Structures are given as C-alpha cells and as structure tokens.
Amino acid sequence: MMMNMSLIIMVMFIFGNMIFISKHKHLLIVLLSLEFIVLSIFFLLVIYLNYIEYDMYMLMIFLLFSVCEGALGLSILVSMIRTHGNDYFQSFSVL
C-alpha cells in the first residue's frame, strides 16, 4: 500500500516537471504545474511523516510557504495581465 502511494506521488511529481519544462508559453500553465509539484511533495511528506510517526507540524509550515508562493505567483500573473493584456512570455521584455 505504501509503495503504491509513493509510486503514484512520484509519477505526479514527474508529470508536473514534464509540464513545467514543456509548456512554457503561458504563465498560468507554469504556475499550475508548480502548484502540482508542490502538491505531490506535500503528499510525499504526509506519507513519509506518517511512516516514521513524526509530528505533523512540519506540514503546516510547508503549507504556509506553498500558499505564500501561490499568492505571489497569482499577483505576478494579475500584474502581468494588467500591464501587457495577456500571460504570454513572449509579450514582455526582461529588460
């Protein structure tokens, strides 16, 4: 049971990384793939911490940082859409 869940989570992590690498045209898709990666890491931490019977306080800290990361990404997306009109990476200059 534990190995099956770990295998599913690893597949989730690999798919999230594949989407992050291949779909870099829109900022929204990149942010969603990053959240998918964070979700798979969270599930892996839940299984690992249950296995070693450790306190779940670390998961709250991890969720806190992942929510902050999501809010920061969403604010960047909103400001980019307001200034450029879309979320294409090609529509704005880095300089």
Residue 94's pLDDT is 60
Specify whether the CB–CB gap between 60 and 33 falls below 8 A.
no
CA–CA separation, 22 and 60 (whole Å): 31
Q: Which residues of the chain have pLDDT under 50?
A: 95
Specify whether the CB–CB gap between 36 and 12 falls below 8 A.
yes
Residue 93's pLDDT is 65
Ordered by start, the domain boundaries in the chain are 1-91
Q: What topology does CATH give the domain 1-91?
A: Helix Hairpins (1.10.287)
Residue 65's pLDDT is 94
